[in-house]
Structure 1
């Protein structure tokens, strides 16, 4: 596959997104906002207090004339989550299928979509299925800044798989997991990458919403042609679920359909 020329499969952190903001031209003029005088604010405050006191007094008078209402029973055996309580009321721990943390805290590589039957091995990922942070950052346009951004976001580990089908089609999936913090690193990373898909390099591609995902989108890009080279087609998908950001890449010398990339992304989402 020597004739295929590829570009970086990911883009850099928040500094590039700031640079991409349109800064041309002065802001449109807006009419000045009027400010209340102190006397007007005081009158409104007094009226509000009087209204609150008057309403409270009327409410007490109405309530005093009503018959007492019986309170509901303190025990409510119908309330049970995530499943009805067994006899005796003991709450059993969630099973591995009910508790997502059991899956995501285990071997992350087991959550990767398995290779299709007949697919061949590629050199895009290591044999052990793990991607080190320096290797991951090196795929960005600015590795140093990408490394710092990922560390600030609380990146934890990256699992990856890839395979080749047909003569040239290559599919790669990465699961990028983040540590718990005051920011949701997985969502921020996925949305940051999706924001770059609308720049000039990708022909202002808005993508298509991914079925079953709250924020996921997939993208099919126009063919890239260069004299002396095979045609180059590319598709991607980005999404996040919980603490994991998912990246799906697909490359070929023949056209990639929307169904090709979306089906892979949806099946990977289903394993999370």
Structure 2
């Protein structure tokens, strides 16, 4: 067998001088990006905002200065008390007499502000459980409402002070109830909120009278209502009328019940008589 020798080393091939060898192109390098000076821009924006506010304020003052003075609205405070006669010029006013000072009137015995019993009626102290000498507890009064729990919490939240009342009867079935609900004299207008809250749902049919009622003359905020008759099998028909009004820190809540129809005059008369005492 022929002897196998080492393989010859490969020889470099000659390169023609006329063909240039291309060098690999370098990858493009992105130009450096300078960071935006945030601090300077923020200062410019803040300065512009300050100048804008100052400029707007100056323009506003200039416009207001060129306008005619606007008169203030008239004060509407029906509960302010004044002397019956005007005092001579330069004389220092004396304290209001108790008959004209509302705080003395409402701060005394609240039962004295209840309207007198009308002619033809008699006292009916046993018709409302819980009445004692003309006073009624907050919990007892709250139970007269459909939602007694929320009403009790409402009275406590709105700083209820005390409740005075009177009950009368006429004939066999007609009864009348008058409640004076007094609230504290704090920042919350308790009597106004209570009365307006009651009036707000009276036009509804679920727990209200189902009508808009009529205004109590001279009150500016009170109304009286006649409910639809309530008929149930086996029972006499039930008629109901109600009036609600407030003055100062006292809200008056008046009801008439009967098995015969109640006229608007019946409830209006009781409401007007009670309003005169407040």
User: When the two structures are superposed, what TM-score results if normalisation uses the length of structure 2?
Assistant: 0.68
Unaligned runs of 5+ in 1: 1-37, 57-80
Corresponding residue for residue 219 of structure 1: 225
- TM-aligned CA deviation for residue 179 of structure 1: 0.4
In structure 2, how many angstroms separate the alpha carbons of the residues matched to 1:130 and 1:252? 24
Corresponding residue for residue 52 of structure 1: 62
- TM-aligned CA deviation for residue 249 of structure 1: 0.3
Corresponding residue for residue 235 of structure 1: 241
Aligned with residue 117 of structure 1, among 108, 116, 119: 119
In structure 2, how many angstroms separate the alpha carbons of the residues matched to 1:143 and 1:263? 29
Secondary structure of the 1:231 match is: coil
- TM-aligned CA deviation for residue 231 of structure 1: 1.2
Instruction: Determine if the alignment matches structure 1 residue 205 to structure 2 residue 211.
Output: yes
Tell me the C-alpha RMSD between the 2 structures: 2.9
In structure 2, how many angstroms separate the alpha carbons of the residues matched to 1:50 and 1:223? 62
Corresponding residue for residue 185 of structure 2: 180
User: When the two structures are superposed, what TM-score results if normalisation uses the length of structure 1?
Assistant: 0.69
Corresponding residue for residue 267 of structure 2: 261
Instruction: Determine if the alignment matches structure 1 residue 142 to structure 2 residue 152.
Output: no
Secondary structure of the 1:200 match is: coil
Kept in 1, the 8 Å contact 2:223–2:245? The answer is yes
- With a CA cutoff of 8 Å and minimum separation of 6, indicate the structure with the bigger relative contact order: 1
Deviation sequence 1:183-236 (CA, Å, 0-9, x none): 110011111111221222246321111111121010001211122111111000
Kept in 1, the 8 Å contact 2:210–2:228? The answer is no
Unaligned runs of 5+ in 2: 1-47, 67-81
Kept in 1, the 8 Å contact 2:210–2:227? The answer is no
In structure 1, how many angstroms separate the alpha carbons of the residues matched to 2:261 and 2:215? 20
> Greater CA deviation, 201-210 or 186-195?
201-210
Secondary structure of the 1:109 match is: helix
In structure 2, how many angstroms separate the alpha carbons of the residues matched to 1:143 and 1:117? 34
Secondary structure of the 1:130 match is: coil
Deviation sequence 1:17-69 (CA, Å, 0-9, x none): xxxxxxxxxxxxxxxxxxxxx99xx69x669729928x77xxxxxxxxxxxxx
Corresponding residue for residue 252 of structure 1: 258
Query: Which is greater in Rg?
Result: 2
Corresponding residue for residue 105 of structure 1: 107
Aligned length: 210
In structure 2, how many angstroms separate the alpha carbons of the residues matched to 1:127 and 1:153? 24
Classify 1:261/1:47 alpha carbon distance in 2 versus 1 (closer, same or farther; 3 Å): closer
